[in-house]
Structure 1
């Protein structure tokens, strides 16, 4: 019998639990440890932030779902990880030993790295359901006295899709309220060009996104870093290719929503051999940590090198299908090890993304997510908006059911008709 602990219950942690339950032996015990007992469908946050969704419509109570699958659940935050003794210390004073640990914590949001940044200061966020609800309240106050809007992603960010989504969803909402003509909008990003997305683009995301911004009269600044934020004012530096400051601008705003950089959560940071300097877990091609062989990791907490040098640091996103492929590989590999065999499975790290723009949108498929690619396609249209709504309903229904069916692959097959996406390969 082996005790298998999953640390975290976001997107990666929940589907990891379902797939691990199928891959382990009947006598093994599976335990999920997490801070929040309620899962929220993060891709819906931009809709929550403009009042198009309620919190209740996108949340899942994990305890009954896990109970139906025979998965033990402990909603207590982890205070410390000791990989030398294979033990977790929890914030309630208890501890938990493991034979195998799967880290699926997601990131810590590094708002504190910029003065005046974040929902506790002067900018809004859609990274968490709490932030999205607060943004919705901010929007209501803003609409009483419209002014300039700033959206985008700060230096070191590794998740750009939600920044573009919120920008266009907000623009749609402002048009519906008939106040768009009173709101100058600027998109500020650390990307070297619009549509880079931390992936050096996918298909013609550069052309599609630039065209969409022009069509909606949204200005933009690229290769930019936020130096400081004050009430109603953001100080932004435009960076030249050689790393020097090309220009410093004071940007007024009535409302601002900027995505932050990510880092590993506090219990992970500083463990030599387990994580990189930012606190992200180092893994091999089998999702296994090279030093601590009984530790695996999936999702946003995994360390992935940037695509290449850029004037302002840009991280690599971990999209849903990519995370799902990590999960499948990790579950299958632990299943192999439990049965006395060697791990042989590798995640494909493909990407299927639907970015909703309020009444239209952009989709892309990257196989694999990191170039060079076998498939490198992007497209746009009203069908993307409809597909994103359909996928939200499909995903939440499947999560509540507790199925181990590959969510993103099924959605791709059902809605995009692009054929089979192989989620894992073997050595």
Structure 2
């Protein structure tokens, strides 16, 4: 997407150079092209650094695929095409310390659907290997009956799963891992061969941000108060995956807490209100809701998860599934593109997007 085109239309300057360093004491950025930018307020929305180095042999430069970036996904697609031509075992999951599990569930079930469409599913054993203490935990302690839902899906589609798994390394066509018990003691060391594998990594913070004194935790995530502001630097805010959030609970193999789209939207909304308050000489008072609403595509069906707030105990805790989730995800993506390209949120474009998919009544349902 040509980002500059849409930002410029709204009077927002854009640089693709990236940030090389932050001088928080003097309110100045050094960009990747060597230029400098002064700021009154800084909002950090850098996303994560993918820490494949934490597990030997993992990642697109090693022996497993990733879908965390567009380039990774393109490479994974090429590997999947080879799988179609030469079927063999598949191993999907997440590495120790991962916090984003939803895409792994989407990936394994979407791939399983594609294999069935091509009538080669019987030639491809699939195993899901995860550090979660149970299927459907997702770093959230589960949402609604996500455990029962995901176990049902996996049983229905013949997908084997292994939880409390600490992957130690990957070699060519082989994943090595320890299976832990509730006391975090190793009960079995295993190896699984694969013709195709995809593992979501753990995340770390951007190196340029982590280098700022007293801004981040040891993993490089920005420490914020309830207003999304740094306790050390009162003109620095942060939103999204780069924000430090404590895990929901202690698990035998460490897992992190995800930062989902709805949560990030509430973070950025709070930041905007709080910066406006500071500009007007008022006290910050906007606090994000930090709720989670996720639509997970699973080939020709899907699952929806709602957690209000994201961390338990919750006021709302619901899971649903059906083909409507698959249709909704596609329809909302089309709607989003209309909004971006047209620069409007007029209801007509929502109707166009939903009608495009033949599901104009989906919103009401």
Q: Return the TM-score normalized by structure 1.
A: 0.80
Matches within 5 A, 1:385-424: 385-402=326-343
CA contact (8 A) 1:81 1:267 kept: yes
The unaligned stretches of length 5 or more in structure 1 are 1-59, 406-410, 419-427
Q: CA deviation at 1:91?
A: 1.7
Map of 1:289 onto structure 2: 230
Q: CA deviation at 1:404?
A: 8.4
Map of 1:262 onto structure 2: 203
Helix, strand or coil: the match of 2:334? helix
Matches within 5 A, 1:237-316: 237-316=178-257
CA contact (8 A) 2:18 2:31 kept: yes
CA contact (8 A) 2:99 2:256 kept: yes
CA contact (8 A) 1:233 1:250 kept: yes
Matches within 5 A, 1:105-124: 105-124=46-65
Structure 2 CA distance for partners of 1:105 and 1:146, relative to 1, 3 Å: same
Structure 2 CA distance for partners of 1:243 and 1:193, relative to 1, 3 Å: same
CA contact (8 A) 2:55 2:95 kept: no
Matches within 5 A, 1:155-174: 155-174=96-115
Out of 211, 216, 224, which is 2:157 matched to? 216
Report the aligned-residue RMSD: 1.5
Distance in 2 separating the partners of 1:114 and 1:417: 45
Q: CA deviation at 1:244?
A: 1.3
The answer to whether structure 1 residue 377 and structure 2 residue 324 are counterparts is: no
Question: C-alpha offsets along residues 356-411 of structure 1, whole Å, 9 cap, x if unaligned?
Answer: 10011110111111111110000111111111111111223223344589xxxxx9
CA contact (8 A) 1:66 1:402 kept: no
The answer to whether structure 1 residue 138 and structure 2 residue 59 are counterparts is: no
Q: CA deviation at 1:417?
A: 5.3
Distance in 2 separating the partners of 1:261 and 1:193: 18
The unaligned stretches of length 5 or more in structure 2 are 347-353, 355-360
Moved more, 268-277 or 131-140: 268-277
Distance in 1 separating the partners of 2:342 and 2:256: 33
Distance in 2 separating the partners of 1:114 and 1:373: 34
Q: CA deviation at 1:416?
A: 5.9
CA contact (8 A) 1:151 1:163 kept: yes
Distance in 2 separating the partners of 1:188 and 1:324: 31
Structure 2 CA distance for partners of 1:223 and 1:416, relative to 1, 3 Å: farther
Distance in 2 separating the partners of 1:281 and 1:354: 27
Map of 1:75 onto structure 2: 16
CA contact (8 A) 1:270 1:277 kept: no
Question: C-alpha offsets along residues 80-122 of structure 1, whole Å, 9 cap, x if unaligned?
Answer: 1111111111121111111100000000000111110001111
Q: CA deviation at 1:214?
A: 0.5
Distance in 2 separating the partners of 1:265 and 1:404: 33
Out of 122, 137, 157, which is 1:196 matched to? 137
Question: C-alpha offsets along residues 45-67 of structure 1, whole Å, 9 cap, x if unaligned?
Answer: xxxxxxxxxxxxxxx21111011
The answer to whether structure 1 residue 178 and structure 2 residue 119 are counterparts is: yes
Distance in 1 separating the partners of 2:171 and 2:25: 44
Distance in 1 separating the partners of 2:111 and 2:330: 17
Distance in 1 separating the partners of 2:8 and 2:102: 34
Q: CA deviation at 1:153?
A: 1.0
Distance in 1 separating the partners of 2:266 and 2:107: 26
CA contact (8 A) 1:76 1:92 kept: yes
